[in-house]
Structure 1
Amino acid sequence: MTAARSVGLHRVIEPAGVLPQAALRLDPSPAIGPDEVRVRVRRLNLDAASFRQLAQRHGGDGAAVRAEVLGIVAARGKMQNPVTGSGGMLIGTVEEVGPESPLKVLPGDRVATLVSLTLTPLAIADGLRDWDGRSEQVPCDGHAILFARSIVAVLPDDLDPELALAVFDVCGAPALTDRVVRGQAPGPVSVAVLGGAGKSGSLALAAARRAGARTVGVVPTEAERDRLAAAGLADAVALADARDPVAVAAAVTGALGAAATVTVVCVDVPGCEHGAILATADGGTVVFFSMATSFAAAALGAEGLAADVTMLVGNGYVPGHAAFALDLLRAEPAVRRLFEARLGSRLGH
């Protein structure tokens, strides 16, 4: 096995020399190499920023959204929204494992990929006929290829596969939140989570509280405020549009009595960088988990505000992140209820 093969360089069609995530086109041919794994795809989970952009572009027309996703995959050999640059992840069944693959899976295992669809060779065989184009989770028949350095998890037997997929999609957020909170200097730690009623936001709140922090969840609507308050995941719930910097800072300081030690951004719309920075105390940390985040806006905004904050980009991977997130879901009934409410009828509820 070569280093180039292990990261999938041999699957890049164009441009030559870049890694699969940066490629314009990948080769999704089903024949696998000695260190690859082929998965029969059963469901895709589009990331929130990508699905929101597609839905808004087509005015909620599900057929048009479905057609665009099919077009992207056919043209690129992977699912990578050309506007947001993001993708999502998938669940499926392992079909074939190369003899040199280091991945701990066997044919027949039901698995979820913990790497982005933006770097996963993918082919769709059914035209997404069972998807109405109106939800992030996409019933699908096709195949995907995993590399030696891909990350994959066997689906737990005690959870509905769609519920597990929703958790795995955002499992990096709570693990990194836990690490950041526990890494703060001695003394009280407060955490503000923008988008606290969403999937990554609710898990981040649960992780922060477990790590001993005082928490506030910031949400944009009264309905989400009431839902999060009823869940009891945060010490306080504040109402503010995450794109309004002054409103966000006022909401956080009003709830906590001071700026937050750590601010975690879990919203799926652009323009939330400055509010997160303004809501964070000097010497504090901002963690961006949104694929809609602009590096330029964050860096230049912090400079313009003379904000002495550390800014982290959540890359979706922390060792043990999948198990950590599943443990939170199992241990926190309120988190599970929020996830199940989002999935709704697809879980038979």
Structure 2
Amino acid sequence: MTARNSDPTGLHRVLDETVVLPQAARRLDTRHELWPDEVRIRVEKLNLDAASYRQLERKHTAGDGSVDHGAIRAEVLDIVATRGKMQNPETGSGGMLVGTVEEVGPDSPLGLRPGDRVATLVSLTLTPLVIEDGLRDWDGRGEQVPCEGYAVLFGRSIAAVLPDDLPADLSLSVMDVCGAPALTARVVEGYDAPTVAVIGGGGKSGSLSLAAARRAGAGRTIGVVPHEREAARLREAGLADEVVIADARNPIGLRDAVTAAGGPADVTVVCVDVPGCEGGAILATADRGTVIFFSMATSFSAAALGAEGLAADVTMLVGTGYTPGHAAHALELLRDNAGVRRLFEARLAHEAPA
């Protein structure tokens, strides 16, 4: 097949002239045949990450506000065909997928078997991917993309077998953001009954992070949302002690809103998929507090320079999306918290094609 030896990071699939890891590569080798430590997945659905989909939606919105969903669909096809993976060139982000294990290499350490229905817990930005159906069953609306094709996992990839007690779409939505609640819980456990503010508390990662913070011992939880409609849903879900409406891009407005709700926060979790939220998150956080950035729209240079310019003594963490046990933890939160589950199911119903 090839003279190249496989590497558990997937380096052998990189087609760039320089040595880079698959996530940084311009193009990946998508050949069907497996190296000994790889696994091939028969894909049934992609889940585009929120920042990537919103950027595509903005790009293809006309002056009259209408969205060309066909152009979104065409661009996703072009990205995958050109790069051998789904990696939005503007945001640098991708998403994850659901599918069935088709073949397992004899040296694969992942513990998967042919026939297992799985969700990948590594980004599409580093996953070799081939779309074979032209996305004929996707109209370009929403982050979940029905798809026929295949993808390849490496020796250091991560995948979780889908649980039998939850619908696949629901499990996929949870696993897409499962890193956020796991890291939130870990950070909250390091404080004594902290005040926790979650910016974007009504979204997928935000609602799970609120639930995780409360379970981990938060003394007070504050959910920040952009408008009253989302605030009403979050209040009904009962996930936050206080729900406030603020534009996360307005640093003074965000600071004042969080302070009025009982802040500043000891832990601030940023779960919004729009740029420009770094300064407000820093200002809303108490000295010696922690800011966790769980958005691919974050400018980490803006965060670092902003904290310096504000003389803010805060720890800032990049949410990598991986914490040991993160998928099981997030699914447990969903099962045990009716408010979280209602929010997820409502989002899925809204994204479902008419």
> Normalising by the residue count of structure 1, what TM-score does the alignment of the two structures yield?
0.97
Q: Tell me the equivalent position of 1:54.
A: 56
**Which of residues 230, 235, 253 in structure 2 aligns to 1:229?**
235
How many Å apart are 1:12 and its aligned residue? 0.2
Q: Is the 8 A contact 1:15 1:23 kept in 2?
A: no
What amino acid maps onto 2:27 in structure 1?
R
- Encode CA deviations 1:135-164: one digit per residue, 9 max, x unaligned: 000000000000000000000001111100
Query: How far 1:192 sits from its partner (Å)?
Result: 0.2
The one of 264, 269, 278 aligned to 1:264: 269
Residue matched to 1:67? 74
Q: 1:179 maps to which residue?
A: 186
Quick check: 1:195 aligned with 2:200? yes
The corresponding residue for 2:249 is: 243
| Pairwise CA distance, 1:183 | 1.2
SS at match of 1:6: coil
Query: What is the distance in 1 between the residues matched to 2:284 and 2:28?
Result: 41
Letter in 2 for 1:314: G
Change beyond 3 A, Cα 1:171–1:150: same
Does 1:31 find its partner at 2:33?
A: yes
Are residues 206 and 348 of structure 1, via their aligned partners in 2, closer, same or farther at CA, if it must alter by over 3 Å?
Answer: farther
CA 346–192 in structure 1, closer or farther in 2 if over 3 Å, else same: closer
1:17-166 to 2 correspondence within 5 Å? 17-59=19-61, 60-166=67-173
CA RMSD across the alignment: 1.4
Uncovered stretches (5+) of structure 2, i.e. residues with no partner? 62-66
Aligned partners of 1:72 and 1:79 also within 8 Å = yes
Match in the other structure for 2:283: 278
**Equivalent pairs, count:** 345
Letter in 1 for 2:43: V
SS where residue 89 of structure 2 aligns? coil
Alignment CA distance shift 1:265-1:345 (3 Å): closer
Whole-Å Cα distance in 2 between the matches of residues 243 and 348 of structure 1? 31
Runs of 4+ in 1 over 4 A off after TM superposition: 345-349
Secondary structure of the residue aligned to 1:14 is coil
1:167 is aligned, of 167, 171, 174, to: 174
Q: What percent of counterpart residues are identical?
A: 71
Supply the AA of the counterpart residue of 1:265: V
Contact 1:46 1:137 in 2 (8 A): yes
Cα distance, 1:3 vs. partner?
Answer: 9.4
Question: Does the residue aligned with 1:91 lie in a helix, a strand or coil?
Answer: strand
TM (norm. structure 2) is 0.96
Whole-Å separation in 2 of the counterparts to 1:77 and 1:15: 16
1:254 aligns with 2:260: yes
Pair 1:285–1:176, CA change in 2 (3 A): same
Shift of 1:13: 0.4
Give per-residue Cα distances to partners, 1:43-98, cap 9 Å, x unaligned: 00000000000011001211000000000000000000000000000000000000
CA distance in 2, matches of 1:105, 1:206: 30
Superimposed CA distance per residue, residues 179-233 of structure 1 (whole angstroms, 9 cap, x where no aligned partner) = 000012xx33000000000000000000001112110000001100111011110
Aligned residue for 2:16?
A: 14
The answer to whether structure 1 residue 204 and structure 2 residue 209 are counterparts is yes
Letter in 2 for 1:73: V
CA distance in structure 2 between the aligned counterparts of 1:95 and 1:345, rounded to whole angstroms: 32
